[in-house]
A and B are shown apart, each in its own frame.
Chain A
């Protein structure tokens, strides 16, 4: 299985601050079709997970452009510029290139 190592496990931030979350995979996530299937999800308190970014850097509809994704091969980053209260929760990376699909361990974003 592809192991997704996500850091840090938690972040304490002030509103308006920018943060980055790292996700490293044990294998390349470049698929045979040349796409890289790395997603970022957010689970807000009391809610189901929701995808924010797919294929490394593509924002889902309705996701603010304060969110951005970058990276390639085995090393990926989610950046949130100017954190807002609605951004709090647990962030996960998810690889969709290999079976079984695997998630990172999560990063809990909390208010300082």
Chain B
């Protein structure tokens, strides 16, 4: 069974960088599919942030393009999210997900941006 799990700090100070890890088990991230980051803001709004595909190419939401980076470590079967220069507007629950023939989501990690 494919499983994804996010990890990272729950509190980040404004102007710093937010870094999260998505650990994948049950499927190699280099085999196929696009591996996504999505966030849910307080309230109901969901935002797709970007993906890294099985070949290592990335695509980012233009609303974040100057601040976001998605990378991976194939030896650990993990992919990563970095968001630079965070503000309180980046407070959200962050999810990693594989979308395709079946969807798999992590359980989410809540990140608060506050001094």
1/0 contact trace for B84-101 toward A, CB 8 Å? Answer: 000000000001000100
| Nearest CB on B from A10, distance (A) | 10
| Nearest CB on B from A64, distance (A) | 17
Instruction: Report A80-112 residues with CB < 8 Å from chain B CB.
Output: 90, 92, 94, 96, 99-103, 105-106, 108
Flag if A48 contacts B44 (CB, 8 Å).
no
The answer to the question of A51 belonging to the interface, with a C-beta cut-off of 8 Å to chain B, is: yes
Flag if B45 contacts A105 (CB, 8 Å).
yes
Q: Which residues of B contact A101 (CB under 8 A)?
A: 36, 48
Residue in B closest to A103 when the chains form the complex, CB atoms: B46
| Nearest CB on B from A5, distance (A) | 13
How far is B103's CA from A96's CA once the two chains are assembled, in angstroms? Answer: 13
Flag if A49 contacts B105 (CB, 8 Å).
yes
The answer to the question of B59 belonging to the interface, with a C-beta cut-off of 8 Å to chain A, is: yes
Instruction: Report B45-67 residues with CB < 8 Å from chain A CB.
Output: 45-48, 59, 61-63
**Which B residues are within 8 Å of any A CB, using their own CB?**
36, 38, 40, 44-48, 59, 61-63, 95, 99, 102-103, 105-108
